[in-house]
Amino acid sequence: MIAGEAAMVILTLLAAVHLYWAAGGNAGKGAAIPTADGHAVIKPSALSTAMVAAALCAAAALVALRIGWLALPGFAGPGFFVRIATWLLAAVFALRAIGDFRYVGFFKRVRDTGFARLDTLAYSPLCAGLAVLIGIAAGG
């Protein structure tokens, strides 16, 4: 249960950061976008950033369902589909940690940018840690 609670807190904090960026905040935003040759590889819109925040909130809610912190009306408890969805969520974070083999993840090729260094030191380990925490919650 502690693993699920920790995952929920982390996912909620990440959602809050994304909401801050979606609302126009800029602090830390440049360090969160992969670059190549000094240019951003992606240019996320406020809407897409808000959608990431919503997905992170949904992920936190899924973990909350799995560990019994959240109950839906008419829902008997964490069943088969919630368990499978939680395992899939853990897989998503594991895949993010592994990366796209170019700009993000442990196996990226572009390693000489500010984002790449932060990705190696913080973002990818965070995703790997979330994969483990969510996996523990899924199996519990």
Q: What is the dihedral of CA 104, 115, 128, 131, to 10 degrees?
A: -80
Q: Is the dihedral of CA 103, 108, 113, 118 positive or negative?
A: positive
pTM of the model: 0.92
Using DSSP's 3-state secondary structure scheme, residue 69 falls into coil
Domain map (residue ranges) of the chain: 2-139
Radius of gyration of the chain (CA): 16
**Cβ within 8 Å of residue 94, ≥6 positions away:** 127, 128, 131
Return per-residue pLDDT of the chain as tens, 140 residues. 899 999 999 999 999 999 999 999 999 998 999 998 889 999 999 999 999 999 999 999 999 999 989 887 776 666 888 999 999 999 999 999 999 999 999 999 999 999 999 999 999 999 999 999 999 999 97
